[in-house]
Structure 1
Amino acid sequence: MTRLRAVLFDLDGVLTPTAELHMRAWERLFAPYCDARGLAPYTAADYFAHIDGKPRYDGVATFLASRGVELPRGTSDDEPGEDTVCALGNRKDAIVNDLFVTEGVAPYPGSVRFLDAVTAAGAHVAVVSSSRNTPAVLASSGLADRFEVVVDGNVAAAEHLPGKPAPDTYLRAAELLGVPAAQAVVVEDALSGVQAGAAGSFGLVLGVDRGVGADALRAHGAGLVVSDLGELDATVLGTDDTGTDDTGTDDTGTHGHEGANA
């Protein structure tokens, strides 16, 4: 195995529990929307199936399509409301930003331990998120200075990169780090994210099961699934601090990343 030299982290649900706030914001948006129109009720399963990991407006459009609703796309300047896809997306953004302010953001302790371990081992690290709130979340969580590269929804829009499940944002982060995709780890909790990692032919797609299900993550492209990144250490890179060689073989003759909980 070629040594893995970079770790590309999704943000919401991987580094920070902001995915929970996003889930609640989507529920506050779509539960009354569906009720008022006699549509099938919005559930958490809708979040995982139609919204999780996607750019905000794509999530709106995909969910609406699941209910047979088609709205004009509109533009990102639309006022928060219900007349266009973008208006609904902007309304959701206002809801979640209120939650960020009232409840705050703290990173997962296990994710910070894993981040510490891979950076201490010499890996390059980046954040790759569909969210345009990424700078605010990184600053609020105290992680803003931990990453060499951030490719978020703002960068994707500026550079015209398609969002997940397309691999382009992850490939762009690897390019900015100067690391081939085959030598990088993608860390994701969303089905669209693990699909992006698989489509980009990355060295390892690491799934974090925050509720979508380990089997579903594997089926969509994760090569390894854990419930918390604290279960892992730097051996996931195929090396460790005790002299593992660049083939990924440790002192027991096993591949370090295969020993983690799958």
Structure 2
Amino acid sequence: MTAATRPGALLLDLDGTLVDTEPLHREAYRAFFASRGWDEPDLTLFTGRRAADVFEAVPGPWTGHDLEALAAEVVALVDDDAAPEPVPGAAALIAAAGRIGVPVAVVTSAGPSWVRRAEGPLTEIGHAETVVTAEDVVDGKPHPAGYLLACERLGVDAADALAVEDSPAGIVAALAAGVGRVVGVTTTHAADELSAAGASDVVPDLVGLAASLG
């Protein structure tokens, strides 16, 4: 990738994109719904989104409950001893961006405590210029607020940025923010789902992307 084609910024989702945490989250959701005696919905609804946002948008037995409290219950059920594995190429991608002077932002639907946990298996997250978490925005993905804030913090035009996401909700959010190129990673969703959401390219992991960045 030449200097002329390098992105102005690299905007990275966290769960399912940098670290393979979606299996942990799904187990927590399954335990949550079982503990409540509620029928388990399609868990892909929660991929890439804040739990409280999904509970608010989708009618169900949770309607009328304290949605933030329910979301906290889900987080509490994530196995404390489970260590998510980095997605192949994640560390190399962030390192490559650093070598060629491309600023990095992590844009996640998770809270700060989960980001700190992810820094264990992927210490390179700490090298990002900024991290936008669920607590930094009023509206979560698929709303573009997180990506807009990341670009504002980095001082870059969204149209010049490259975003990487594993969920349709995240892809929609990045595109709505005006991000010029959005790559989908098939760690959680099928390639056709990511393409349908608007991803310009779809890859199985981050290895090739890291190599192309430099």
* Pair in the same fold by TM > 0.5: yes
Q: 1:130 is matched by which residue type in structure 2?
A: S
* Structure 1 position 234, deviation (Å): 5.3
- 3-state SS in 2 of match to 1:143: helix
User: Do 2:148 and 2:177's aligned partners in 1 also have CA atoms closer than 8 Å?
Assistant: yes
What aligned pairs does 1:56-205 form with structure 2 within 5 A after superposition?
56-63=51-58, 65=59, 68-69=60-61, 71-74=63-66, 85-96=67-78, 99=79, 101-132=80-111, 133-141=113-121, 142-156=123-137, 161-205=138-182
Provide Cα deviations, 1:175-194, integer angstroms capped at 9, x if missing partner.
10111001111111011100
Are the aligned partners of 1:7 and 1:126 in contact in 2 as well (CA < 8 Å)? yes
Letter in 1 for 2:99: A
Letter in 1 for 2:117: V
1:21 aligns with 2:24: yes
Q: What is the distance in 2 between the residues matched to 1:59 and 1:204?
A: 26
2:43 maps to: 47
Aligned residues with identical type, % of pairs: 34
Q: Map Cα deviations across residues 152-182 of structure 1 (whole Å, 9 max, x no partner).
A: 01222xxxx3110011111100110111001
Contact 1:52 1:59 in 2 (8 A): no
Q: Give distance in 2, aligned partners of 1:122 and 1:136.
A: 24
Change (3 A) 1:87 1:145: closer
Q: Does the 8 Å contact 1:165/1:196 carry over to 2?
A: yes
- The alpha-carbon distance between structure 1 residues 91 and 128, as it changes in their structure 2 partners (threshold 3 A), is same
TM-score (norm 2): 0.88
User: In structure 2, what is the Cα distance between the partners aligned to 1:104 and 1:2?
Assistant: 36
TM-score by length of 1: 0.73
C-alpha deviation, 1:62, in angstroms: 4.1
Give distance in 2, aligned partners of 1:73 and 1:174: 35
Q: How far off is 1:3 after superposition?
A: 4.2
Q: CA RMSD in A?
A: 2.1
SS class of match (1:103): coil
Residue 2 to residue 231, structure 1, CA distance change in 2 (3 Å): closer
Tell me the CA shift for residue 32 of structure 1. 4.8
Which residue pairs with 1:12 in the alignment? 15
Gaps of 5+ in 2: none
Contact 1:105–1:137 (8 Å) recurs in 2: no
For the structure 1 residues 192 and 211, does the alpha-carbon distance in structure 2 shift closer, same or farther, using more than 3 Å as the test?
same
Secondary structure in 2 matching 1:109: coil
Give the structure with higher Rg (CA): 1
Tell me the matched-pair count. Answer: 209
